[in-house]
Amino acid sequence: MEMSSVCQSCGMPLSGDEVRGTEKNGGKSGIYCIYCYMNGEFTVPELTEAEVIGKGGQILAEIYGMPPEKAKELASEQVPLLKRWSGRIVPSCQSCGMPMKDESDFGTEEDGSLNRLYCHFCYSDGEFTEPGLTREGMIQKCAPMMADRFSVPEEKAKIMVENFISGLKRWNE
């Protein structure tokens, strides 16, 4: 079964089973949230990518106090990569969340083969580039960058990073 840490229709983090959509047989969807996908079908089949970007931007602006144009910019980066709109799952680094669009984005093992779970910034030559990094450390490290890039207060940026990394494998083990 395909699995994703974010909804592949709207981009919401799939941080628990209760937010996962449902299949026809009653099972949980691996890739869509409960708002987008129920009983094996999209809840709003005619939904467009532009609508998801617009709505996503509004939600980001509301939750994180982000200026609307920045929120739209962020949504426009994330939404088109999702399977419902791109036709494929672009894997996210399971440490930092960066989308890995090309093979060159993947981390590397000691023998030079690719590690498809982690990006090359986080994982290189068979090990994490920052092996001691904790979940809290990751939040401390990323929040100021997010705050700066998206013009949100640092407190909000911390919540944003926390939500963003909550579904990632490295921080759930």
Sites of contact with Zn ion (CB under 5 A)? 7, 9-10, 33, 36, 93, 95-96, 98, 119, 122
- For 36-100, the DSSP string reads TEETTEESSTT--HHHHHHHHHHHHHHHH---HHHHHHHHHHHGGGSHHHHSS--PBPTTT--B-
- Residue 107 CB, nearest distance to Zn ion (Å)? 8
Q: How many residues does the chain have?
A: 173
Pick 80 or 153: Cβ nearer Zn ion: 80
Pick 61 or 96: Cβ nearer Zn ion: 96
Pick 71 or 122: Cβ nearer Zn ion: 122
Q: Show the tokens assigned to 20.
A: 């996962």
Pick 47 or 159: Cβ nearer Zn ion: 47
- Residue 34 CB, nearest distance to Zn ion (Å)? 8
- Residue 120 CB, nearest distance to Zn ion (Å)? 8
Distance CA 90, CA 34 (A): 20
